[in-house]
């Protein structure tokens, strides 16, 4: 308690000593500093890791007819990128059921168009022929 202008010294103010070794360690790089990117930005269409962009493009259908070098326009792009192709084998019985169902759908669409008196759709005819060939 201070009376008549005399100040009580604050004993809480202590000087903390910082050793040179601690200063050196605080500036030292750790493995996590080297491995982590400088920035991470996540957007709906891409992810940016530092200065690199990452984007996934999903292809769910192949061309109707495949020829030699059908994938060369994509592979020969003058950029660095990774391509991964996954082909999942499917059980023969379940695929035959799916194909039968699809043939029935396309055939019924063709029949409905004929009953309505509409002109034949070449896309439906081609799809029907392709399904029958499979």
Alpha-carbon gap, residue 70 to 130, rounded angstroms: 20
Whole-number pLDDT of residue 65: 76
In which residue are the tokens 């996954």 written?
86
pLDDT of residue 119: 87
Output 103 or 61, whichever has higher pLDDT. 103
The residue ranking higher by pLDDT, 63 or 110, is 110
> What is the DSSP secondary-structure string of 9-42?
P-TT--PPP--HHHHHHHT---HHHHHS-S-EEE
**51-84 tens-digit pLDDT:** 888 888 887 777 777 788 888 888 898 988 888 8
* CA pair distance 131, 110, nearest whole angstrom: 14
In terms of Cα–Cα distance, which of 80, 102, 99 is closest to 91?
Answer: 99
Give the angle 130-132-134 at the CA atoms, nearest 5°.
75
Say what the alpha-carbon torsion angle 63, 56, 98, 133 is, to the nearest 10 degrees: 10
pLDDT tens for 48-57 read: 888 888 888 8
Residue in the structure block whose two tokens are 């896309």:
123
Local structure of residue 54 (DSSP, 8 states): E
- Region 20-49 average pLDDT: 76
pLDDT at 84 (0 to 100): 85
CA separation for the pair 54, 49 (Å, rounded) = 8
**CB neighbours of 107 closer than 8 A, spacing ≥ 6?**
128
Average pLDDT of the chain to the nearest whole number: 80
| Percent over 90 (pLDDT), the chain | 7
pTM of the model: 0.42
29: confidence class by pLDDT, cuts 50, 70, 90: low
């Amino acid at each position: 308690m201070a009376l008549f202008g005399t100040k009580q010294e604050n004993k809480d103010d202590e000087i903390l000593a910082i050793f040179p070794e601690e200063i050196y360690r605080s500036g030292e790089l750790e493995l996590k500093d080297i491995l982590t990117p400088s920035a991470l930005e996540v957007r709906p269409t891409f992810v940016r890791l530092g200065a690199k962009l990452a984007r996934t493009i999903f292809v769910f259908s192949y061309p109707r007819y495949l020829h030699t070098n059908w994938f060369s326009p994509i592979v020969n792009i003058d950029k660095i990128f990774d391509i991964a192709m996954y082909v999942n084998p499917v059980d023969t019985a379940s695929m035959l059921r799916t194909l039968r169902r699809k043939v029935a759908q396309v055939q019924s669409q063709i029949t409905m168009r004929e009953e309505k008196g509409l002109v034949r759709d070449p896309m439906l005819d081609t799809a029907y022929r392709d399904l029958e060939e499979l």
